[in-house]
Chains A and B, each alone.
Chain A
Amino acid sequence: MKLSLADYFILSLYFCFVIGIGWKLRKSVTSAGEFLTAGHHVPVWITSLAFLAANLGAQEVVGMMASGAKYGIMTAHFYWVGAAPAMIFAGVFMMPFYYGSKARSVPEYLKLRFDEKTRALNAITFAVMTIFSSGISMYALGRMFQIVLGWSFDASVILSAVIVLVYTWLGGLTSAIYNEVLQFFLIVLGFSPLSIVVIARAGGWRGIQQRLPGAMTHAWKYLGSANQNPMGIETFGMVAGLGFVLSFGYWCTDFLVIQRALAANSMSGARRTPLIAAFPKMLMPFIVILPGIAALALTKMGTGYSLPVKGNSYDYDQTLTTLMAHFYPSGMLGVGLTALMASFMSGMAGNVTAFNTVFTYDIYQSYIRPGASDRHYLTVGRMTTLAGIGLSIAAAYLAVRFNNLNDLLQLVFSFVNPPLFATFLLGMFWKRATGHGAFYGLLCGTFAAAFTQGLSTAEGKGGWLAGLHDFPSQMAQNFWISIFAWTTCFAVTILVSLATKAPPEAQLEGLVHSLTKLPPDPAPWYRRPGPLAIIVAAVLIVLNLIFR
């Protein structure tokens, strides 16, 4: 792929704007709160788009298009079943406790609701995971630009790291959030034309349906049995594994996204953040999944475009870049690559800003130096940003040496997030849940996930203890690992809580549903969480009916 002057101009323009936004925001960052939590004064339309964009990294865009080509429209379940319901739940039920408790981070909420050891366990695992996530984003960026454009891996990694460092150092979380919104606009405007052109060339949705097997163009029809569809999953695994455990575990407890909602300027704004974000989220499959399905249809049509081949299968990971190279002229190619670069960088920035908040508040202020001045924590926050970027670069080079590092990280995510959702669910809705229950529930849930992976195989992976069961796909295995992890954590937390002393009710006010009185929402009815949630649910049902 060769870039023209116009493409380089658009890329450079983007770099100037992201640094400019950080520069403009630098004067508003005068305290640790401003730097690490955006001072709780970001407008709701910005927090909503950032809430969505924080999850819309380049790996997501590239990966979803690849999955679209591999699994078909069932991939849209990651948005419809695996995101929108959880976002409704987060906005309506969970945000009042996060925002109302005045916790600055998810681990801090765990400390307020349970105890110090539960916070420490979550803070440390989260901090390590964010650094590796950020490093893998950098690694993926370096590899992609090396393969697609022939750029130097080192130069791509260092350039992106320096730009992210400059704008997060200057403007902190606000700067990261503002740039995520710009990235969201770029992704939508940069990839929508590709989607329109590719789908039109494939004969529209009807043309695609005629050229591909039914299992690729129906979201629900072939979910009756695991061997009927390319994903190898059945309805229960899909709904319970992806739709409940994995998605609620991510959208309701991952601090990376929750931090965006907590930056809102009011409780009402924080509650509306995931609900407003759910609207564009439900429509994203039209931009990131449908072109992948159309690419497969075009390959079968023999019109000049063909998915690249790797071994005796297609190299699905190259779907997006090959579509861009084939259909985009100079100019739009620059916009598309800038959108990819932007999403890689905001993926890094999102992880680094979540890391610096958790490290400064939940590790440094809690265990290393409590009671210092606000100015001191601001300096620590900035130095943690620098250290976070440095560690991310180290993680990127670690990924070069161990090319299965990303698989390992995804596995660790599926071990840690699902039990965490069980902990939060019990913590927020059952006043009898105790700190010991939460801590041992989390530990047992994580071990249960590891054992399930060790006792089962999928696509030749896993089964390091014994191969008791073979799943048709790794995705199916992941869904079932999550179900076992969640169930174990849920059961152990209940049992240990009942065997230990209940926390005093006075301590739980504002943290548990039955002991919290929500203040009346001053917003007009159509802007309140309830009606918004009903509209999101209605759109969700319509989309599922159309693509059933």
Chain B
Amino acid sequence: MFDLRLPSGLFFVITGVVLIVTTDPGHINLYSGLAMFVFGAMLLLLAWRKTRVRKSAGIHTK
């Protein structure tokens, strides 16, 4: 079973970038995009950390 944090994190990182580059006068896109980017990056980091821990413990999944 793959880690759901990977696709979720990737989705929010890409969406965050799209929002950051789509400017608007009230900066709603900018702040929301930054929040999504940080959230997505955090999910990716957690997924990466788990993979590293599993690898160092010698646990392999199919």
A17-B7, A182-B8 known; 11 new pairs, CB 8 Å cut-off, are A14-B11, A21-B4, A42-B1, A178-B4, A185-B8, A189-B39, A193-B35, A328-B28, A329-B24, A332-B24, A335-B15
Within 8 Å CB of B7, what residues of A? Answer: 17, 20-21, 24, 182
- The answer to whether B11 touches A13, judged by C-beta atoms less than 8 angstroms apart, is yes
Q: Is A331 an interface residue (CB 8 A)?
A: yes
Q: Which 7 A-B pairs have the closest CB atoms?
A: A329-B24, A331-B22, A331-B29, A193-B32, A6-B22, A331-B19, A17-B11
Within 8 Å CB of B26, what residues of A? Answer: 197, 329
A185 to B9, CA, bound (A): 10
- The answer to whether B33 touches A189, judged by C-beta atoms less than 8 angstroms apart, is no
Q: Which of B9-62 contact A (CB under 8 A)?
A: 10-12, 14-15, 18-19, 22, 24-26, 28-29, 31-33, 35-36, 39
Q: Could you list which residues of chain A lie within 8 angstroms of chain B, going by C-beta atoms?
A: 4, 6, 9-10, 13-14, 17, 20-21, 24-25, 28, 41-42, 46, 174, 178, 181-182, 185, 189, 193, 197, 327-332, 335
In the complex, 5 of the A-B residue pairs with CB atoms within 8 angstroms, ordered by the A residue number, are A6-B19, A330-B22, A331-B18, A332-B24, A332-B29
- The answer to whether B15 touches A24, judged by C-beta atoms less than 8 angstroms apart, is no
CB distance from A426 to the nearest CB of B (A): 38
CB distance from B20 to the nearest CB of A (A): 9
Which residue from B1, B22, B31 sits with its C-beta under 8 Å from A28? B1
CB distance from A485 to the nearest CB of B (A): 39
CB distance from A346 to the nearest CB of B (A): 14
A6 to B4, CA, bound (A): 25
**A327 with B18, Cβ < 8 A, contacts A17-B7, A21-B7, A46-B4 known:** no
Max count, chain B CB within 10 A of own CB: residue among A10, A197, A329: A329
A328 to B25, CA, bound (A): 11
CB distance from A6 to the nearest CB of B (A): 5
Within 8 Å CB of A182, what residues of B? Answer: 4, 7-8, 11
Within 8 Å CB of A42, what residues of B? Answer: 1
Within 8 Å CB of A28, what residues of B? Answer: 1
Within 8 Å CB of A189, what residues of B? Answer: 12, 32, 35-36, 39
A21 to B9, CA, bound (A): 13
A182 to B36, CA, bound (A): 13
CB distance from A495 to the nearest CB of B (A): 49
Which residue from A9, A14, A25, A193 sits with its C-beta under 8 Å from B31? A193
A6 to B16, CA, bound (A): 11
CB distance from B1 to the nearest CB of A (A): 6
CB distance from A181 to the nearest CB of B (A): 6
CB distance from A302 to the nearest CB of B (A): 20
A17 to B9, CA, bound (A): 11
**A13 with B28, Cβ < 8 A, contacts A189-B35, A331-B33 known:** no
A335 to B24, CA, bound (A): 15
Max count, chain B CB within 10 A of own CB: residue among A6, A13, A332: A332
- The answer to whether B2 touches A24, judged by C-beta atoms less than 8 angstroms apart, is yes
A193 to B34, CA, bound (A): 12
A181 to B12, CA, bound (A): 13
A24 to B7, CA, bound (A): 10
CB distance from A187 to the nearest CB of B (A): 13
Which residue from B1, B18, B31, B35 sits with its C-beta under 8 Å from A6? B18
Which residue from B18, B31, B39 sits with its C-beta under 8 Å from A10? B18
Q: For residue A10, which residue of chain B has the nearest CB?
A: B15
Which residue from A13, A20, A25, A327 sits with its C-beta under 8 Å from B14? A13
Within 8 Å CB of A185, what residues of B? Answer: 8, 12, 39
Max count, chain A CB within 10 A of own CB: residue among B2, B15, B39: B15
A331 to B18, CA, bound (A): 8
CB distance from A167 to the nearest CB of B (A): 12
Within 8 Å CB of B39, what residues of A? Answer: 185, 189
CB distance from B17 to the nearest CB of A (A): 11
**A41 with B1, Cβ < 8 A, contacts A6-B22, A185-B12, A331-B18 known:** yes
A21 to B29, CA, bound (A): 27
A28 to B10, CA, bound (A): 22
A328 to B24, CA, bound (A): 9
- The answer to whether A329 touches B12, judged by C-beta atoms less than 8 angstroms apart, is no
A279 to B55, CA, bound (A): 33
